[in-house]
Amino acid sequence: MRIRVTPFRALRVAFAALWTDLSPSATESEGHRNTLRRQLRQLAQSWPFALLVALAAPLQVAWTGWQQARPGVMLVALACAAVLALFGTLLLLAIRRGITRRWSLHGKVRTAMALGAVGGAALLLLVFATAQLSPGPARLAGFVTAFGAMIVLVIALYPVRAATLGFGAGLLVTLGAQDGIGIGLGIGTVLLLALTSSTYRLALFERSAVAQRDLDHAQGRMATRLVAEFETHSSGWFWQTNSEGEVTYLTDKVARELDTPDAPAIGAPLSRLFRMDSALPETERTIAFHLSSRTAFSNYSVRPASRAKLERWWSMSGRPIFDEDGIFIGFVGSGSDLTERRRADAEITRLALFDGLTGLANRQRLRLALDQMLAQPASPQRMTSLFLLDLDRFKAVNDTLGHQMGDALLKQVAQRLQRGIGEAGLVGRLGGDEFQVIMPGQADREKLAELARRVIFDLSQPYSIEGSAISIGCSIGIAIAPQDGGDSETLIRNADLALYAAKGDGRGIHRFFRDELLVGAQSRKQLEDDLRQALVGNQFYLAYQPVVDTRSERIVGYEALLRWAHPTRGLVSPAEFVPVAEDCGLIETIGEWVLRTACTEAAGWPGDVRVAVNVSPIQFANPVLPSLVTSALAKSGIAPHRLELEITEGVFLDESAASEQMFKTLKGCGVRLALDDFGTGYSSLGYLKKAPFDKIKIDQSFVKGATIPGNRNAAIIRAIVSLADALGMETTAEGVENRDEITLIRDLGCSHIQGFVYGKPARAADVLQQLTIGGGMATATGYQITRNPRTAMLRSARIEAGAVSGEVRIRNISSTGAMIEGIEVDDGTTDLDVLIELLEDQMFPAKLRWAADGRAGLEFAETFNLERLAAPSVPQAARKAG
């Protein structure tokens, strides 16, 4: 920066500076202190000059003393000069090096006093010395010099310019009076030059000071703006106190919160506005402590002290501040709002321990509570009971009415459950439709059973949600600690087993844990392990049971039924292992094997004979099923219409857009669909409309007993048949076991029959034989009550089949056949030629038509006259036995 100094400007600045320096009010202001400090520094910088000024008076006196031949005066004046020079140099050096700044105020005062005393003494000496000089101008000069020197001392702490001017004036007058105008002018010129140079330097200084001030102002404005921005739009705030600890500044938003009608926050003691958040450990280090000990603190968590209900938390930091002189003037600090974070923390804690939907305890909290209860030393408290609840049919509600309704239902269930349990226990939700109740100190089975029944009753009452009435049920498993498990894990597992049993026993009930349940679960586990082995160990095979056209008695297809030849258990029923496979996820792999094997084996069958494969709901829910079907068809090469997939009502439990899509896709593959076991599930006729079934299979439970007069099953079958007819679907009656049932089923209009009457499930090789030898026709076996009245009897008779002979009992007999007991042939054996001793020593030829469970049906080759039995002759065997 270039400086241009015009004479006018220099004068103006000099005058302004002079005036500023001497202005009495200026001394009190902060600004003046700064100016003073600056000038002191300036003075210190030009110290040789300042020193010369200070020494001018004693040197002047010494000179006069020399001239007047007064060595005493001269020596005193020189001593004065030496003292002033020494002290002045030291002081100025100290100022220059900034040493004085580090002094405390006391130090400064002491130094000033010492210096003043020395200076005063020196000056006094000087005055005395001057008084020794001859009167006249010299003396006057001495006084004036002394006066000038005093002015220098008095205002030495003030400006260079004032000192120079004052002293210069005194000197001028003295010299002018003494030695004439020449010297006076000379010295005056020097002084003026000094004054000009000093003014010039001052002008430079002022100029940079002005620039600095502008910069400071701009920065100040920016800082103010930033602070205001920060204070209004962030969670931060500032505060300051005076040395008494009273708030002198507090960001508006916080001040407003802390203001009370009778006491504004500004002016109040800081320690009375805030208190430490007692939740934190450092409570003993209170704010008041820091204020009184003048120590800094940081990140203290504080709350409003007087307004306990105000939900506010702040983090607060502060440090003491001191002025230039090291005097403590108060505290300054900042803070930030922690409220939101605190709330979020609280919310996180809540979420971590409570169920978001129902507000009940969540799995985590239940587990903690159970752990705690079980960890207590043996006491009545340690008798803890655990209820595990599962809602029945909740999934159906959720799937059909939507998740929102499902959620609303869960909330209501939670409320009812909470009300029902009351203070007796801790109620929580594990997730989905599973709830848990922990009841400390309760182990009375009767009371627990009573409570469980009441809860089931409560939860089974209809719910009203958005205007619709919804009904669900509830099953409960109960385990009691310590007898059913001393630790959480065991107790929960056992309650789970009890719940499983409750569901298995028909739902809507409660079950206590029993040891047998564990044994059952373990054998189930074993079965599961064995199942895994079965797949790799080739222990599965398929048995095929014929499906027969009712009118023509022609075999239209076979149902493939899975068989498991277990190495040690023997034949395991699919009814036993399929549910296990479904539970453990093996059904997918097993089902695929069944599908592929059935298709491959059916490929060898003549004509259009179909094969039906059972598909588990779990397979049905898997989107890969259609591609699996097409792959099996393609690999085996059978036409799609020859494959029939049997699906149970179970798939409709999961009624959703996905299952509808699955029906469409499967139909698109060209395969047939049959609804298996119709009437056994919670049959809703609604889905018959939507699902494109080709056939309904009427469950065997309807066929059983249908022939007995007065039984309603026949009516039900008729209704199902007419429903199927109306929908253009075929019907198969399952489990038809005798010819009477065939007649009935035919009369009821069923299009197909499947059952032991036309044969039990047989191996693939036998199927081929059946189809080729029998020409695709089925032969019914089994008795027919209606045609020939049977005579019940119990007597022994000999029987021969080829070379083998043995003894059997005849249960009943008609003219065309007999039913015998105690025969040792394989179940399902048919068309075996035998001889039976109906009369003593008279063997009659007959055909064994069916055999099951040690019983068999015989068809006589020729009609037997029952009256011959009345003859006195008794069969040999009976005689022997008698």
Q: List residues near Mg ion by CB under 5 A.
A: 614, 646, 676-677, 734
CB contact set of 451 (below 8 Å; sequence gap of 6+): 420, 421, 424
Binds ligand C2E by CB under 6 A, chosen from 594, 645, 688, 856: 594
Beta bridge partners of 806: 799
Q: How far is the CB of 834 from ligand C2E (least distance, A)?
A: 23
Please, which residues have CB within 8 angstroms of residue 180's CB and are 6 or more apart in sequence?
A: none
Query: Which option in ligand C2E, Mg ion, none does residue 659 bind, with CB closer than 5 to 8 A by kind?
Result: none
Give CA angle at 176 (170, 182), nearest 5°: 130
- Work out what residue 616 binds among Mg ion, ligand C2E, none; the CB cut-off runs from 5 to 8 Å by kind: ligand C2E
Please select the residue that binds ligand C2E; options are 166, 335, 428, 755, rule is CB under 6 A. Answer: 755
Should residue 756 be labelled a site residue for ligand C2E when binding is judged by CB under 6 A? Answer: yes
In the complex, least distance from residue 486 CB atom to ligand C2E, rounded to whole angstroms: 40
Q: Does 399 bind ligand C2E (CB under 6 A)?
A: no
Which position among 428, 735, 782, 817 is part of the footprint of ligand C2E (CB under 6 A)? 735
Q: Are strands 610-615 and 555-566 parallel, antiparallel or unpaired?
A: parallel
CA dist 579 → 503, 522, 525 (Å): 14, 15, 12
> Taking the mean position of all CA atoms in its chain, how far away is CA 106?
65
List the one residue out of 263, 260, 228 whose CA is nearest residue 246.
263
- Closer of 579 and 774 to ligand C2E (Cβ): 579
Name the residue nearer to Mg ion (CB basis): 500 or 756.
Answer: 756
Q: How far apart are CA 369 and CA 427, in angstroms?
A: 11
Q: What is the C-alpha to C-alpha distance for residues 124 and 126, in angstroms, rounded to an integer?
A: 5
Of 616, 713, 731, 814, which one interacts with ligand C2E (CB under 6 A)? Answer: 616
The beta strand positions in 661-718, using DSSP E, are: 672-678, 695-698
Cα separation values, 299 from 279, 341, 545, 774, Å: 14, 14, 81, 95
Q: Report if residue 662 touches ligand C2E, rule: CB under 6 A.
A: no
Retrieve residue 400's tokens: 């059909």
| The entry of Mg ion, ligand C2E, none that residue 761 binds, CB within 5 to 8 Å by partner kind | ligand C2E
CA–CA distance, 835 with 816 (Å, rounded to integer): 14
Q: How many angstroms separate the CA atoms of 729 and 288, rounded?
A: 90
User: Residues with Cβ < 8 Å from 854, sequence gap 6 or more?
Assistant: 821, 822, 823, 824
Element (H, E) at 104: none
Measured from the CB atom, is 738 or 754 closer to Mg ion?
754
- Cβ nearer to ligand C2E, comparing 596 with 718: 596
Q: Which listed option, ligand C2E, Mg ion, none, makes contact with residue 287 (CB within 5 to 8 Å by class)?
A: none
What does the per-residue mask of binding to ligand C2E show for 77-116, with x meaning CB under 6 A? ----------------------------------------
Q: Which of 39, 385, 488, 545 binds ligand C2E (CB under 6 A)?
A: 545
Task: Determine how many CB atoms are found less than 10 A away from the CB of residue 153.
Answer: 20
- Closer residue to ligand C2E, CB minimum distance, 406 or 755: 755
Shortest separation between residue 635's beta carbon and Mg ion, angstroms: 23
Residue 646 vs 730, nearer CB to ligand C2E = 646
H helices present in 752-875, as ranges? 764-773
Of the CA atoms within 13 Å of residue 333, those in its CB half-sphere come to 26
Residue 704 C-beta: closest distance to ligand C2E, Å: 8
Applying CB under 6 A, among 644, 730, 737, 740 the residue interacting with ligand C2E is 737
Find, among 703, 729, 730, 737, the residue nearest to 717 by Cα. Answer: 703
Q: How far is the CB of 376 from ligand C2E (least distance, A)?
A: 48
Q: Which is nearer to Mg ion, 615 or 742 (CB)?
A: 615
Size of the site for ligand C2E (CB under 6 A): 23
Stretch that binds ligand C2E, among 12-20, 232-240, 402-410, 730-738 (CB under 6 A): 730-738
Note whether 781 and 849 are within 8 A (CB).
yes
**Nearest-approach distance from CB 619 to ligand C2E, in angstroms:** 7
If binding is defined by CB under 6 A, does position 571 make contact with ligand C2E? no
Residue of 452, 578, 745, 823 that binds ligand C2E (CB under 6 A): 578
Q: Which of 840, 838, 835 is nearest to 875 (CA)?
A: 840
Residue 703 CB, nearest distance to ligand C2E (Å)? Answer: 8
Q: How far is the CB of 700 from ligand C2E (least distance, A)?
A: 6
Strand partners for 788 = none
Dihedral (Cα; 868, 872, 876, 879), 10-degree rounding: 140
Among 358, 436, 614, 659, binds ligand C2E (CB under 6 A): 614
Return the ∠ at Cα 673 (arms to 667 and 678), rounded to 5°.
145
Q: Does 677 bind ligand C2E (CB under 6 A)?
A: yes
Length, in residues, of the chain? 882
What's the min distance (Å) between Cβ of 770 and ligand C2E? 15
Sequence-separated (6 or more) residues with CB below 8 Å from residue 475: 389, 390, 392, 456, 499, 502, 503, 507, 508, 509, 510
570 to 349, 573, 704, 765, 857: CA distances (angstroms): 55, 10, 28, 21, 27
CB nearer ligand C2E, residue 241 or residue 648? 648
Q: Would you count residue 573 as binding ligand C2E (CB under 6 A)?
A: yes
The binder of 496, among ligand C2E, Mg ion, none, by C-beta within 5 to 8 A per type, is none
Among positions 496, 676, 740, 837, the unique one binding ligand C2E when judged by CB under 6 A: 676
CB atoms under 10 Å from CB of 192, counted, come to: 13
Between 79 and 565, name the residue whose CB sits nearer to ligand C2E: 565
Q: Which does 755 bind (CB under 5 to 8 A by kind): Mg ion, ligand C2E, none?
A: ligand C2E
Residue 756 interacts with which of ligand C2E, Mg ion, none, CB < 5 to 8 Å by class: ligand C2E
Task: State the nearest-atom distance from the C-beta of 676 to ligand C2E, in Å.
Answer: 5
Nearest residue (CB) to ligand C2E, 484 versus 677: 677
- 751 touches, from ligand C2E, Mg ion, none (C-beta below 5 to 8 Å by class): none
Q: What angle do CA 793, 794, 798 make, to 5 degrees?
A: 115
594 binds, among ligand C2E, Mg ion, none (CB under 5 to 8 A by kind): ligand C2E
* Residue 169 or 852 with smaller CB distance to ligand C2E: 852
Q: Which two tokens stand for residue 874?
A: 């008794």
Strand 540-549, strand 762-763: pairing = antiparallel
707 scored as a contact of ligand C2E (CB under 6 A): no
Residue 30, H or E segment? helix 30-45
- 561 interacts with ligand C2E by CB under 6 A: yes
Question: Which positions from 682 to 701 touch ligand C2E by CB under 6 A, shown as an x/- string?
Answer: ------------------x-
Site mask, ligand C2E, residues 758-777, x = CB under 6 A? Answer: ---x----------------
Q: ∠ CA 238-243-244 to the nearest 5 degrees?
A: 100
Which member of 144, 302, 562, 762 binds ligand C2E (CB under 6 A)?
A: 562
Out of Mg ion, ligand C2E, none, what residue 481 binds, judged by CB under 5 to 8 A for its kind, is: none
What pairs with residue 645 in β-bridges?
613, 673
Instruction: Give 410 or 750: the residue with its C-beta nearer to ligand C2E.
Output: 750
- Among Mg ion, ligand C2E, none, what does residue 292 contact (CB within 5–8 Å per kind)? none
Binding site for ligand C2E (CB under 6 A): 545, 561-562, 573-575, 578, 591, 594, 614, 616, 646, 676-677, 700, 734-737, 754-756, 761
